[in-house]
Structure 1
Amino acid sequence: MIVRTLEECRQSERRVVAENWESTRMLLKDDNMGFSFHITTIYKNTDTHIHYKNHLESVYCVSGRGEIETLADGKVYPIEPGTLYILDQNDEHQLRACQDEDMVMACVFNPPLTGQEVHDKDGVYPLSE
């Protein structure tokens, strides 16, 4: 059995901070579960280009508000607490947090992340071996 708290993970190398977001990676590839689980904060008033070419992701909004725009068709979907979006087609998108508050998201990745990934210039996480 694996038991971890969000706070202990935040105080470790499992917390990764980037310009527009930070992610606490509570479950990673080396935990051998077949997926990774993260609590990610998208900083308020940010616009982040993301394109997970190597991963599928499911995202549940815990708090905050924003929107996601799928770049292939220009559709914009509001995000608020209780919203789940699933990037099941490796969807290239823009993720925007509102001006007033950060968005806190619970994220699941398949295949799992190793822990220190950040988006490259195209919004992609590399595929780990």
Structure 2
Amino acid sequence: MIVKQLHELVGSQDDIDTQTWNSRRLLLHKDGMGFSMHDTIIKEGTETMIWYKNHLEAVYCIEGEGEIEVIGGKTYPIQAGTLYALDGHEKHYLRATKQMRMICVFNPPLVGREVHDEEGTYPLLETEAAQK
């Protein structure tokens, strides 16, 4: 059994803070669950271009407001209680009009220190590739 407390992750190596988001990585590849789970803050007034070409992601908003705009497609409002799943590796913009708190799940699981590259992508790390 795995038991973790969010307050134990804050400020640790599993707490990744960038200009637009702060991801507290609750479950990672090393935990052996087959997915990773993150408690993520999307900072108010920010916009992030994202393209998870190597991962599938499901996101559930538990606080705040914003929107997700699929590039070349539709824009969807986000508020507490909204779930979206990027089942087609959609390239998108994520915007927070009020700070959002999101629970995010990735498959394959993240290893831990990933941040978006210039394409908005997380790299597929070697340990993840070996799992497939």
**Class of the TM-score when normalised by the shorter of the 2 chains:** over 0.9
Secondary structure (helix, strand or coil) at the match of 1:7 reads helix
Whole-Å separation in 1 of the counterparts to 2:11 and 2:5: 10
Structure 1 segments (4+ residues) deviating >2 Å = none
Whole-Å separation in 2 of the counterparts to 1:8 and 1:62: 20
Whole-Å separation in 2 of the counterparts to 1:72 and 1:118: 24
Whole-Å separation in 1 of the counterparts to 2:64 and 2:93: 16
Deviations 1:21-41 (A, max 9, x none): 010001000101000000000
Stretches of structure 2 that go unaligned for 5 or more consecutive residues are 127-132
Whole-Å separation in 2 of the counterparts to 1:124 and 1:67: 19
Aligned pair count reads 126
TM-score, normalised on structure 2?
Answer: 0.94
The alignment-based identity, stated in percent, is 55
RMSD: 0.7
1:12 Cα deviation from its structure 2 partner = 1.4
1:72 Cα deviation from its structure 2 partner = 3.2
Whole-Å separation in 1 of the counterparts to 2:57 and 2:10: 21
1:96 Cα deviation from its structure 2 partner = 0.4
Secondary structure (helix, strand or coil) at the match of 1:30 reads helix
Counterparts of residues 49-68 of structure 1 (less than 5 Å): 49-68=49-68
Whole-Å separation in 2 of the counterparts to 1:8 and 1:97: 26
- 1:123 aligned residue: 120
1:19 Cα deviation from its structure 2 partner = 1.1
Residue 59 (structure 2) pairs with residue 90 (structure 1): no
Deviations 1:75-95 (A, max 9, x none): 000000000000000010000
Secondary structure (helix, strand or coil) at the match of 2:9 reads helix
1:128 Cα deviation from its structure 2 partner = 1.3
Stretches of structure 1 that go unaligned for 5 or more consecutive residues are none
- 1:114 aligned residue: 111
- 1:41 aligned residue: 41
